[in-house]
Structure 1
Amino acid sequence: MGSITIQDHRLAGATLLPDTFVDYYMPRANGEFVKIFLYLLRSVHAPNAYPTLSSLADVFSCTEKDVLRALRYWEKAGLLKLNFKEKELEEIVLLPISETLSATRRIPEEDGSDAGLPLPPAAELPGKIEGTTKQEEETSSGENSAGKGADSRQPVQISSARLRELKNNEDAKTIAMVAEAYLGRTLSTTDLRHLLYFYDELHFPENLVEYLVEYCVSRGKRSMHYIETVGLAWYKDGILTLKDAKAREKLGKKNYYTIFRAFGIRNRDPIPDEIAAMDRWLNEYGFSTDIIGEAASRTIRKTGQPSFPYADVILTAWHNAGVKSLDDITVLDERHRETRKASEPDKKKPSGTPKTTNRFNNNFQPRTYDYDKLEQELLNSQESGKH
């Protein structure tokens, strides 16, 4: 494969990264795509820089197809132009970002969508979504991380004009057919605009979009909002191939059974409510299986049974207290004992009692919480539920 020439129509003599790129383009792009684009900027002014797809793939430990996918993404964003000769990439032309930005702000579609705006400002990014129901928020394999703290703007979707352009696209037709088979219904135009966003804008391969739908349906979730939330979380976590998604699911299942063993549960699979709880502990709270195992042990000792709601009270308290490690839990326990001891009636204490020092990292400043009160609230709620 021949060398690729890179032309720069921007200011020479420096590797520039305009604020517009940081504010406007970078937050939306996949991290690997950003790295490849930055490498191109640097390569322009490197002496004798004639990279090939193969050499770029070697630099980033990925495939040539991954590199080309990144380049096509930036071409679609309007930041560069790819020139081919006999189907072989020959030249990459970097375009001025300021000019590109004004060029992309075209008149919106009749339906109100910004067809000419491939990358919205950072304040409008779809990385986090709010306004979901509790059931929709209980997503798995990291999708909770994509479901919080954003505005209530229009969900991500391709334009009506772009949907018409994809009408005869074989991949798009296959995605629609497979999705309808899994969901058991005919997809509306709005459904297709949401679903094909992952294929057309985020560059998910056809089989990954199909697997996304299959994954959600297998968990009893058929709403397009849920599918969108999971898909955005995958993109945020760098899951861009079917292999990535299956590896993530395999790791998730391994963690489930590790947690189950900590609870003493064997010979059955987790039910949806248990999966939702474990996903929250692992992904939203960011706890290791060791920390969750400690909560499971305390649950068994206190209740005599593998109560997920009881463990959730413990883990939520730890999360709110800023726990990140088992040592943090030890610090929290020590402070809890000191608090309880101080609240007991005064007893005769020998004078000159040395002050207890913290043998752990002083960077950990746990928040105060009433562990006993939380436990009692859970027990009371369980009792009231029986009536």
Structure 2
Amino acid sequence: MSMLTLNNDCLASVTAVPDLFLEQYMPAANGEFVKVYLYLLKLVKDHQQDSTLSSMADFFSCTENDIVRALKYWEKQGLLSLSYTAGESVPTGIAFLPLVRKEESGILPTPESSISGPIAAALAVSAVSVEIPQTEQTPAPSPQPAVSAPSASSPADDLSSSGISGQSVEKKHAPGSREELQHVLYVAQTYFGHLLSPTEIECIMFFYDDLHFSADLLEYLVEYCVSKGSTSIHYLKKVGLAWQESGIRDVASAKQETTTFNKHYYTILKAFGIRNRAPVEKEAEMMDRWLNTYGFTIDLITEACQRTVSKIGQPSFQYAEGILSKWKEQGVRSMADVEQRDAEHQKRKKTASDQNAARKTAPAASSNRFNNFHQREYDYQKLEEQLLK
């Protein structure tokens, strides 16, 4: 095995990074969070007291929300303490705390150095860009217990890049706690089979913090989406919002809803002649639209599917969508409406057919120019008598 050669070019300006941070805190943190912490170390070293969230966001080409999220992550890890001005929802002061080994317990020491000044800016929070609210917002740093490291056999080893720890997977947390949310994120990451992106984390936090989904309901939402063959956060958001609109607030109601929808899915697939497979994501989205957005009964939907196969000889969700969207525009709400519409169509078709038949049986006008002159009528018997006189 070849050895790595390390060179030291003695940089003119150097920012010192504690070894303890590199050894114990950096491996389990999101890479973007690490960047923010290292940049803060540089600001302290350069005595830059006039930094703002906006300037930091511009430096990293990200949003101010991303910076605040990184700050709050390091505050939870016990490396920073954030202070707030009355009436402000974003930190206006940042204090560095001494690093301690994670196996140590007890109260963290008071801050050694701090960044103060106008670190404030308006923070626009979108539907899926949600902050983890702090239970206390006081100017003085509050004592925090050290964070214990997960064991070597913990599944959290696979979660390092997103900063989600699995240390509390076996522990049941109090509803609404940050530990409970961390557990939900860990479960989601396990189901998805990949490290959660910031967008995925924000979406799950939106359901937890803003829509007040319980941890159990969120876990079932993730499980349900994965069972449908989708690990897309967009599909999870669509299903979750549909549950919200339907008033679903617990797992029992969600299971009843999904059981009903599963039956409808397979009924629709059967109408298409599709058997022995589950619907793919796009098919499920279209069936959800027919059932939820259009509000059609299962009888109307299966009728459209059967007409699709009868017309083009094969199943086509797009063709059935054309039929159902047209029915929606025409105000069709029941099979009686469909039958009435079919009867009107047949009547119009018969009228048009009769008119075509009448035009075909009418005598055609002669094109001979001789026949265009007025034809005189003669009494040939009288003409004969006149000639014999």
- Normalising by structure 2, we get a TM-score of 0.46
Higher relative contact order by CA 8 Å / sep ≥ 6: 1 or 2? 1
